[in-house]
Structure 1
Amino acid sequence: MLSGSGGRIEDERCRLLAREGMAALSIRWFGGAGQPPGICEIPLETFESAIEVLRAGGARRIGVLGTSKGAEAALHLSVLLPGADAVVALSPTSLTWANVGPGEDGQTRPYRSSWTWRGEPLPFVPYDDSWAPSPARTAGDPVAIRGWYERSRRTFADRVDAARIPVERSGAELVLVAGGDDAMWPSLPYAEELAARRRAAGLPVRVIGGPDAGHRPRLPGEGPAPASAQFRYGGSTAADTALGAAAWPHILDALRGPRDGTGAP
């Protein structure tokens, strides 16, 4: 269970899955002892070791559920790790982006990849620092940064192809959940891009979208997402809850996997 850029341990979501009879594990993957303080050149092997813990505990099927930047990592794991049987990406991206926050050196610039694999940084799209929020925004209001990602993609168009997450090479079952009113980044268009590449390769994919939902879909049993003084996430409590409810049976189906002739997983 991988959180987004907030870096929290996903206790509540782990409990939701535990109530469904699954073993769920959430780890701190940045900001902890011996880790980069930000999402900067995070070794994807960090998650490989967590998967090994579940395997050692007798897990028959491994699913990775990630949100936002955690979804970015989860999608990469679906390609790089044959041990990931299912990946659920909430509010995903179709590209690898530059770092969010400082690396081990304490620096945020120059931009570097968010991820490494076997010691090598993954190709990424940097941010266009000429972008600024709408001048109509009232000072002190939370910022919608979706436009920053859209601008950066256009500015660094020559880097987009190399930065695409190659889900067409993934053997994992894939579920994508995204809101059309996402104010952080355009997760629904990203999900549709990922799905198009899967389908072009003849591979299955499920996309559950909510046109009015934002960046933080809420799964059944979760309360409303806390408000932020820094960012606008889009959506509404009702729309985010409806998207989570629509996605929940697909999420459980993917994580549980195929059933035998008796109906047991």
Structure 2
Amino acid sequence: MARVDEGDRHVAIPAHPTGSGILILAGSSGRIEADRAELFARHGIRAHAIRWFGGRGQRPIPHEVPLELFVDEVALLRESCERVAILGTSFGAEAALLTATRTPLDAVIAVAPTSVVWPGILDGSWSSHWTEGGAPLPWVPFVDDWAATTDPPEFLGLYTASLDRHRVEAAEIPVERILGDLLLVAGEDDRVWPSARFADEIATRRAAAGLKTDVLRHPLAGHRAPFPGEPVARGGQRMARGGSPEADAELGALAWDAALARVLGTTRPN
């Protein structure tokens, strides 16, 4: 198994277990979401928050990260939990959605999601964020004539132009394979990438397959949606993320209630 080193995993054990568990994945910050894990644990949920790049024996950046890392962590949670969910933000949402197409999950929460696989660059070589069985997954290449015009840079234009010009059907995340509850959370003022557009694409493709998707949106929120009581997120690449503290917090509060219900299995999507 491609298990995470103990030093790269924070396990939050609830005082009163409900039988539910969740795997929590950060985005490009690379941090271990320990505070978020403890938040879930206070509601009876066993939570594993892991570092998935930059840790011991791991890839240094989001570049050819093995999906087996996440699939095996889900299997580890299954050893002690009857119901297992996964929650990811940004690049972590990309990983969460892909993981859910490879192994059964009861609930998937993708915050600032993407509908396709993207690349990273390492030592001058572009390749997929992810591998499976050692082979890189197909990805959408970036346009080579884009340059940031803001400081800090907004990458929304890069992702939008790349998607419109170099759409790769094989790079689409096969969200039709996700059979558990799926919750997508998107701020319409996301300046990193078009997460609201991605959420709509995911919901549309799943609807065509007869599958329900729950989408939470906020017109003024950006790339981040902190849950109530969480500290302000730090780290990651310097960039414009959009939104405002107030709007982001509003979206996060809505997302928290919806996510908690789905992890616990206490309600079904409307």
SS of aligned partner of 2:83: coil
Q: Tell me the residue number matched to 2:78.
A: 55
Q: What amino acid sits opposite 1:42 in the alignment?
A: V
Contact 1:142–1:229, Cα closer than 8 Å, also in 2: no
Distance in 1, matches of 2:266 and 2:258, equals: 12
Is 2:88 aligned against 1:78?
A: no
Conserved? CA contact 1:67–1:90, under 8 Å: yes
Aligned with 1:30: secondary structure? coil
Q: How does 1:94-173 map to 2 (within 5 A)?
A: 94-99=115-120, 101-102=121-122, 107-109=123-125, 111-134=126-149, 137=150, 141-157=151-167, 159=168, 161-173=169-181
- Determine which of 224, 238, 262 is the counterpart of 1:254: 262
Percent identity of paired positions between Structure 1 and Structure 2:
47
Deviations along 1:140-160, one digit per CA (max 9) or x if unpaired, are x31111101011112313x2x
1:166: how far off?
Answer: 1.1
How far has the Cα of 1:26 moved from its partner? 1.1
**Matched-pair contact (CA < 8 Å) for 2:30–2:236:** no
Instruction: Give the equivalent residue in structure 1 for 2:6.
Output: none
Counterpart Cα distance in 1 of 2:237 and 2:40? 30
1:200 to 196, 201, 208: 208
- The verdict on how the C-alpha distance between 1:108 and 1:86 changes in structure 2, with shifts beyond 3 A counting, is farther
1:89-138 C-alpha deviation (Å, 9 max, x unpaired) = 00000110112x52xxxx142x111111122221110112320012xx3x
* Match status 1:34 vs 2:42: no
Structure 2 match to 1:262: none
| Structure with the higher fraction of residues in strand conformation | 2
Q: Residue by residue, what CA displacement relative to the aligned partner does 1:32-59 show, whole Å, maximum 9, x if unpaired?
A: 1221111111110001221122122x20
C-alpha contact (below 8 Å) 1:224/1:237 kept by paired residues? no
User: Which digits, 9 at most, give the CA deviation of each residue in 1:51-100, with x for residues without a partner?
Assistant: 122122x2011100000000000001111112x2211000000110112x
SS in structure 1 at match of 2:207? helix
Deviations 1:202-251 (A, max 9, x none): 11111000010000011111133348782000000000000011122210
Compute the TM-score of the two structures, normalised by the length of structure 2.
Answer: 0.86
1:258, distance to aligned residue in structure 2 (A): 4.8
C-alpha RMSD of the superposition: 1.6
What corresponds to 2:222 in structure 1?
214
The whole-number CA distance in structure 2 between the counterparts of 1:28 and 1:229 is 16
Q: 1:169-248 alignment to 2 at 5 Å?
A: 169-226=177-234, 230-248=238-256
Residues 1:92 and 2:100 are matched in the alignment: no
**Aligned residues of 1:142 and 1:228 also touching (Cα < 8 A):** no
The number of residue pairs the alignment matches comes to 244
- Deviation, 1:164, is 0.8
Point out where structure 1 has 5 or more consecutive residues left out of the alignment. 260-265
Whole-Å Cα distance in 2 between the matches of residues 108 and 154 of structure 1? 24
Indicate whether 1:25 and 2:48 are aligned.
yes
Give the CA deviation at 1:185. Answer: 0.2
Q: Taking structure 1 as reference, are residues 108 and 210 closer, same or farther at Cα in structure 2, changes over 3 Å only?
A: farther
Contact 1:133–1:145, Cα closer than 8 Å, also in 2: yes
Aligned equivalents of 1:227, 1:85: Cα separation in 2: 30
Note if contact 2:85-2:108 (Cα within 8 Å) is conserved in structure 1.
Answer: yes
Tell me the TM-score normalised to structure 1 length.
0.88
Matching residue's letter, 1:142:
P
Equivalent-residue separation in structure 1 for 2:246 and 2:204 (angstroms): 29
**Any idea what SS the aligned residue of 2:224 has?**
coil
Contact 1:181/1:234 (CA < 8 Å) preserved in 2? yes
What is the aligned partner in structure 1 of residue 10 from structure 2?
Answer: none
